Each structure stands twice: as structure tokens, then as C-alpha cells.
């Protein structure tokens, strides 16, 4: 790797540059070692230029949104972590036809804001994402959702920044969404999305949102840092139910704990490290496999070496 790449990059692109930045400050888990560089682009063009620079120089890059679905290793990440949450923002109505509204939404926009925007205008389709933290880009990358729907239901096309900063727009037919997966090529950074909603239904939205609000209040441990559900639900079952049946609720390792309230959440009770979280993940996996013959798959993304 080039020695003074950070200095060189600073000359070419604008944005915020944080060297040796502790990633625990940028994840909802409050866990994660330092990034060699955390870069927050100032504009879309800066993001493109940055990716071109990093790829040309063979510097490893990662992209994160708001860091609400990731576990970063304690040793941190070599290379450049590009953070988009709250940097590349914007929601624009691009066209209205019949009962449909097409929006262009930038990847760094908070998902919460997209939902608020839609409800305020009386557009239907985003209610399912009420209470899901994070950015629109992160939500699309993980096809985030609830029992009321998922991102795949509202995305019409994506604009991606590919290797060497090439821009590519892909239509819905070529985006292979599945449960908590988006299926875009590995090197892609989602820049923006065209989202299609239905016009005219403020009351419908508010009713669905209220239902989700009550469900979340009862079932999810909001008081402690976490990354949401650790495992994907296996077909026709729930990972939380299986982990609870395995008697693992409340299991604690250092400051990491399988939540007493929802067994598919691991919470950080203070100074939890990634190593302890991984150990709890391994225990839950092997107990559930042993008792029920079901292999739990991770929903959270691991970044770094484990
Ligand atoms: C309390 C709590 C409750 C949650 N509830 C839910 C829920 O109900 N349903 C649900 O699905 N999730 C839930 N989550 C998980 C999480 O909020 C969502 O997955 C969210 O959409 C992640 O967005 P993010 O911006 O934080 O992504 P990050 O965590 O920053 O990134 C997640 C993944 O997406 C990739 N990524 C991020 N941005 C981009 C981009 N622009 N282009 C390409 N790849 C990108 C990252 O590389 C990483 O692999 C919850 C999390 C918490 C903490």
C-alpha cells in the first residue's frame, strides 16, 4: 500500500478526513477498532473521485451508512472507510403518474426522514420501515424490512458507483433482492435510489406505523447499544425464539449480553468488545444447531478480521 496515500487523497478530494478514527463512534453497537482513514465525502463528485483514487492505488475500501447493522473487529480496518450517513442527503419528487409518485433519494438520507417525508405528503409504501434506524443506502444494501414490507417493495432503480468511480444505473429487474440481501456487485456503492410510492393515504400510513410502534416498544431492547437482530430468521421460525428455547437469554460475556428482552439482540452493557460478541454468536449458533438442527445465518455484517 502507498505510504502517504491519505495526504495525496486530501489534495484530490474534499470532505472530512479522520485518521485512526475509532469506529465504535460510528456504530450503534459502540464497538469497533480504528479505521486507518474514515472519509466523509462532501459531495457526490467527491465520492466518485475518492473511489477512483482508492481503486487506482489499490487501497482497500469499505462503505458504511449509519453503522446500525455492522460489527467491526477490535483491531479495526486497514484502508478507507467511506461513511455516507448524513453526508449525501436529499429527497426529490421526480414524477407523478396516476396514483404513483417517483422519488429520488440519496443514500445518506436517514431512513426515518424518508418515512416522515412520505407520511407528511400522504404517500403510501414506507410505513414498514418505521423504527428501523440507519441510512437509505444501508437499508437498501441489506434489504431492510419488517413484517409489513421491505426495501425491495419500493425500489425501482439504483444508481451505483462501481470500480474506479464508474456510475451505473440498474433497474429493478436486475437487482436480485432476497431476505436481508440486495445482491448488487461487491464493489458497488449505492449513491441514490428511485423509490416508487402510492399517492393518497395518510390514515393508512399512520395506522400501520402505530401498530409497529407498539410492537417495537414491547419487544425490542432500545435502552442499550446493539446492531438490531443478529441472525436472520430461519424459514417459518424466529431466531429469537430458538435462542430463547436454548436457554441463552441473558447470557453475558464481559459487557456483551444476549438480551433478556429479545434473544436475537446482543446488547452492549458498557465496554463490550467484538471478540465477546462473536463468542456469544458462536455459542448461540452451536446450541441452536445442536438442539434443533438449524444453522442460523448472520443478519449483521462483520467488517474486519475475526
Ligand atoms: C435497534 C435496532 C433496530 C433495528 N431494526 C431493524 C428492523 O426492524 N429491520 C431491519 O431490516 N433492520 C433493523 N435494524 C438493522 C439496521 O438498522 C438496518 O439494517 C439498516 O438499514 C442499516 O442501515 P445503516 O445505514 O446503518 O447501514 P450500515 O450498518 O452502515 O451498513 C450495513 C451494510 O450495508 C452496507 N452499506 C451501507 N451503506 C451502503 C451504500 N450506500 N452502498 C452499498 N453498501 C452500503 C455496509 O457495507 C454494510 O455491509 C435495526 C438496528 C437496530 C440498532
Over the stretch 258-274, which tens digit does the pLDDT of each residue have? Answer: 999 999 999 999 999 99
| 88 Cβ closer than 6 Å to some ligand 1 atom | no
Atom of ligand 1 nearest to the CA of 85: 25
Reply yes or no on whether the pLDDT at 92 is more than 80: yes
Residue 258, domain CATH: 3.90.78.10
| 232 Cβ closer than 6 Å to some ligand 1 atom | no
Q: Is 266 exposed, middle or buried (0-12, 13-18, 19+ CB in 10 A)?
A: buried
Q: How far is the CA of 212 from the centre of ligand 1 (A)?
A: 18
* Among protein residues, the one whose CA lies closest to atom 1 of ligand 1: 228
Phi and psi, residue 63, nearest 5°: -125, 140
* Among protein residues, the one whose CA lies closest to atom 27 of ligand 1: 138
Residue 67, domain CATH: 3.30.43.10
Strand ordering across the sheet containing 266-268: 252-253, 256-258, 266-268
pLDDT for the residue 86: 83
pLDDT, tens digit, for every residue of 145-161?
998 899 999 999 999 99
Confidence band for 208, pLDDT divided at 50, 70 and 90: confident
* Claim to verify: residue 131 and residue 74 sit in the same structural domain: no
Q: What is the mean pLDDT of residues 137-143?
A: 98
Q: How many CB atoms lie within 10 A of CB 228?
A: 20
| 32 Cβ closer than 6 Å to some ligand 1 atom | no
* Among protein residues, the one whose CA lies closest to atom 3 of ligand 1: 228
The residue out of 83, 101, 122 marking a domain boundary is 83
Reply yes or no on whether the pLDDT at 51 is more than 90: yes
pLDDT for the residue 2: 59
pLDDT for the residue 66: 98
pLDDT for the residue 275: 98
pLDDT for the residue 209: 79
* Among protein residues, the one whose CA lies closest to atom 45 of ligand 1: 138
Task: Output the nine-digit C-alpha cell for 159.
Answer: 444508481
Q: What is the mean pLDDT of residues 183-211?
A: 87
Q: How far is the CA of 141 from the centre of ligand 1 (A)?
A: 8
pLDDT for the residue 147: 86
Reply yes or no on whether the pLDDT at 214 is more than 90: no
Atom of ligand 1 nearest to the CA of 111: 21
User: What does the alpha-carbon distance between residue 10 and residue 20 come to, in Å, rounded to a whole number?
Assistant: 15
Domain span at residue 278 reads 222-303
pTM of the model: 0.95
pLDDT for the residue 3: 64
* Claim to verify: residue 175 and residue 238 sit in the same structural domain: no
Of the residues 135, 205, 208, 229, only one is catalytic, namely 229
* Claim to verify: residue 111 and residue 194 sit in the same structural domain: yes
pLDDT for the residue 211: 78
Of the residues 61, 112, 180, 285, only one is catalytic, namely 180
Reply yes or no on whether the pLDDT at 217 is more than 90: no
* Claim to verify: residue 128 and residue 15 sit in the same structural domain: no
When divided into structural domains, the chain yields a total of: 3
| b/e sequence 68-103, b meaning 16+ C-beta within 10 Å | bbbbbbbebbebbbbbbbebbbebeeeeeeeeebbb
* Claim to verify: residue 78 and residue 99 sit in the same structural domain: no
| 301 Cβ closer than 6 Å to some ligand 1 atom | yes
pLDDT for the residue 1: 54
The residue out of 37, 56, 83 marking a domain boundary is 83
Q: What is the mean pLDDT of residues 54-66?
A: 97
| CA dihedral of 126, 128, 131, 135, whole degrees rounded to 10 | -50
Mean pLDDT for all residues in the chain: 94
Atom of ligand 1 nearest to the CA of 191: 41
| CA dihedral of 76, 223, 65, 110, whole degrees rounded to 10 | -160
The residue out of 184, 218, 252 marking a domain boundary is 218
Reply yes or no on whether the pLDDT at 220 is more than 90: no
| 66 Cβ closer than 6 Å to some ligand 1 atom | yes
Q: Which residue has the higher pLDDT, 207 or 47?
A: 47
Reply yes or no on whether the pLDDT at 254 is more than 90: yes
**Listed range (21-25, 65-69, 210-214) with the worst mean pLDDT:** 210-214
Confidence band for 37, pLDDT divided at 50, 70 and 90: very high
Amino acid at each position: 500500500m502507498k505510504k502517504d496515500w491519505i495526504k495525496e487523497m486530501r489534495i484530490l478530494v474534499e470532505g472530512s478526513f479522520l485518521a485512526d478514527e475509532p469506529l465504535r463512534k460510528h456504530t450503534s453497537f459502540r464497538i469497533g477498532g480504528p479505521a486507518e482513514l474514515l472519509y466523509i465525502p462532501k459531495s457526490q463528485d467527491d465520492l466518485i473521485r475518492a473511489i477512483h483514487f482508492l481503486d487506482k492505488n489499490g487501497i482497500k475500501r469499505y462503505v458504511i451508512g449509519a453503522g446500525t447493522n455492522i460489527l467491526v473487529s477490535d483491531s479495526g480496518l486497514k484502508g478507507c472507510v467511506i461513511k455516507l450517513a448524513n453526508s449525501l442527503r436529499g429527497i426529490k419528487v421526480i414524477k407523478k403518474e396516476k396514483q404513483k409518485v417517483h422519488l429520488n433519494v440519496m443514500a445518506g438520507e436517514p431512513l426515518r426522514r424518508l418515512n416522515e417525508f412520505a407520511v407528511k405528503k400522504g404517500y403510501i409504501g414506507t410505513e414498514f420501515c418505521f423504527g428501523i434506524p440507519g441510512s437509505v443506502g444501508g437499508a437498501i444494501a441489506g434489504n431492510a424490512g419488517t413484517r409489513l414490507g421491505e426495501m425491495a417493495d419500493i425500489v425501482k432503480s439504483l444508481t451505483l458507483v462501481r470500480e474506479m468511480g464508474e456510475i451505473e444505473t440498474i433497474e429493478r429487474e436486475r437487482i436480485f433482492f432476497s431476505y436481508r440481501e440486495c445482491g448488487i456487485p461487491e464493489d458497488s456503492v449505492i449513491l441514490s435510489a428511485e423509490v416508487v410510492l402510492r399517492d393518497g393515504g395518510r390514515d393508512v400510513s399512520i395506522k400501520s406505523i402505530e401498530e409497529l410502534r407498539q410492537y417495537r416498544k414491547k419487544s425490542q431492547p432500545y435502552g442499550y447499544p446493539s446492531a438490531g437482530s443478529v441472525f436472520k430468521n430461519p424459514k417459518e421460525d424466529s431466531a429469537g425464539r430458538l435462542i430463547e428455547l436454548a436457554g441463552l437469554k441473558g447470557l453475558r460475556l464481559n459487557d456483551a449480553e444476549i438480551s433478556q428482552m429479545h434473544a436475537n439482540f446482543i446488547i452492549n452493557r458498557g465496554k463490550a468488545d467484538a471478540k465477546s460478541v462473536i463468542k456469544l454468536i458462536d455459542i448461540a449458533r452451536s446450541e441452536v444447531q445442536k438442539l434443533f438442527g438449524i444453522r442460523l445465518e448472520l443478519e449483521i455484517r462483520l467488517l474486519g478480521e475475526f
